[in-house]
Amino acid sequence: MPSEIIAVQFGQCGNQIGDAFWRALCAEHGIASNGVPIQSDLDAKDLKRVFFYQADDERYVPRAVLVDLEPRVINGIITSDYRTLYNMENIFMSKSGGGAGNNFASGYKQGREAQEALFDILEREAENSDYLEGFMLCHAIAGGTGSGMGSHALEKISDRFPKKLVQTYSVFPVMKKGFTNYVRINSYSTVSWCNEYSTD
C-alpha cells in the first residue's frame, strides 16, 4: 500500500505553485477538474492515493491544505475550473484578510494565533490517511505568510508529528539591489526554521 503525503500550501506563492501542482497531477493521473476519474482503468495501476483520497461520491480529492492570510489567491483557485476539486473544509483564510504585510514576525504571530484552527484541519487529514508518510510544505521565504506562518506551522508539525517526514519546497527570492530589509530578514529567518525543523 502506498504511503500518503499531505500538501500544505502557504501564502500567495505557495498556493499558486500548489494550484499548478494539482492541475499537473490531475492531468498525469487522468482526473478531471472536478475530481472525477477520466480513465477508470488506471485506478489500480497508478498511485493516485499518495496525493488524493477518494470521496464517497467516487471523486478524487487532493490531500491539500490551502492557507493564506489574505483571500485573493485562494479565492481565485476556488472560483476556477478546479473549484470542486478541493475539500473546502481544508481551506484556512484569515478572518481579517489583511495578510502579513511581507513581515516574518507578523506571519509567525498570526500563525500562532491560528494554530488550533489550522491543526484541526491537519489532524483531520492525518487521521483520514491509512499510511501517512508525511507533509510537504510549499511556500516562499521572502513574504510574510509563507515565511512567518509557514515557519510556525513547520515547527508545530514537526512537534506534533515527530515520526513523519516534513519536507519544504521553498521559493527563494532573487536578491537584487532595491530589495527591502524585510526580504533579507524574512529569508534568513525562514531558512533557519527550515534547517531546524524539516526532515533531513
Confidence category of residue 87, pLDDT binned at 50, 70, 90: very high
**188: containing domain:** 4-197
Please spell the DSSP secondary structure of 2-24, one letter per residue: PPEEEEEEEHHHHHHHHHHHHHH
Q: Is the pTM of this model over 0.75?
A: yes
Number of domains in the chain: 1
Q: Does residue 1 register a pLDDT over 80?
A: no
Low-confidence winner among 1-5, 65-69, 182-186 (lowest mean pLDDT): 1-5
DSSP letters, 86-114, are S-GGGEEE-SS----TT-HHHHHHHHHHT
CATH of the domain at 33: 3.40.50.1440
